[in-house]
Amino acid sequence: MPWLPVLHRPEEDLWFFSTMVLPEEMVLVARENTQPVGFISSHQGWLNHLYIAPDRWGMGLGSRLLEAARSETDHLQLWVFQDNMKARHFYSKHGFCERAFTDGRGNEEKVPDLRMEWSRDS
Ligand SMILES: CC(C)(COP(=O)(O)OP(=O)(O)OC[C@H]1O[C@@H](n2cnc3c(N)ncnc32)[C@H](O)[C@@H]1OP(=O)(O)O)[C@@H](O)C(=O)NCCC(=O)NCCS
């Protein structure tokens, strides 16, 4: 996502994931042997992270992680950057609807984003 400003140092990311994400959220990791190649995290109906290693894109890993996370819930929403067309296409194909667009003032990166939503019964 080259259009995104880099806001945090790697050690800040490590702190965030070890103290906030891992203890609080449901986190599923895709591995090839012992090598992590992607992960998804969700919490209280929000899909907060989904990242696949770029050299593994298009191999179905993102779909499998999303299905695994969805098996735990009937409703999920998420924020995605508007310029992230690959992710928007991916979520749309998996039944998410684009609900609300923002100018980015409310997010940390100050980059326009949008809320997408999926419900099992829709
Ligand atoms: C968006 C993202 C999570 C998708 O993950 P992915 O593993 O590439 O997704 P999938 O492989 O399941 O599906 C992507 C495409 O591969 C195709 N595909 C799925 N299984 C496949 C298989 N076995 N063989 C070949 N192609 C396959 C899908 O049909 C889909 O095609 P599309 O181009 O029509 O969308 C990934 O690109 C990513 O990590 N992006 C960067 C981070 C990001 O943007 N995260 C979202 C933040 S909100």
- Whichever domain contains 93, its CATH number is 3.40.630.30
Q: In 4-84, which ranges are continuous DSSP H helix? A: 10-16, 22-24, 61-70
- 45 ligand 1 Cβ < 6 A: no
What residue owns the CA closest to ligand 1's atom 4?
62
Whole-model pTM above 0.75? Answer: yes
- 90 ligand 1 Cβ < 6 A: yes
Q: Is position 60 within any domain?
A: yes
Contact 112, 104 (CB under 8 A): yes
Q: Is position 1 within any domain?
A: no
pLDDT at 122: 81
User: Which pLDDT band holds residue 113 (cuts at 50, 70, 90)?
Assistant: very high
Q: Is position 3 within any domain?
A: no
pLDDT at 1: 82
Q: How far is the CA of 58 from the centre of ligand 1 (A)?
A: 4
Q: How far is the CA of 93 from the centre of ligand 1 (A)?
A: 10
Structure tokens at 53: 């290693």
Q: How far is the CA of 65 from the centre of ligand 1 (A)?
A: 10
pLDDT tens-digit profile of 4-61?
899 999 999 999 999 999 999 999 999 999 999 999 999 999 999 999 999 999 999 9
Instruction: Please state the domain count of the chain.
Output: 1
Q: Is position 101 within any domain?
A: yes
Q: Is position 5 within any domain?
A: no
Q: Is position 83 within any domain?
A: yes
What residue owns the CA closest to ligand 1's atom 22?
59
Q: How far is the CA of 97 from the centre of ligand 1 (A)?
A: 17
Q: Which domain holds residue 32?
A: 10-119
Structure tokens at 114: 């949008």
Q: Is position 89 within any domain?
A: yes
What residue owns the CA closest to ligand 1's atom 1?
87
Euclidean distance between CA atoms 81 and 88, whole angstroms: 8
Burial of 42 (C-beta count, 10 Å sphere; 0-12/13-18/19+): buried
**Over residues 56-77, mean pLDDT:** 97
Q: Is position 68 within any domain?
A: yes
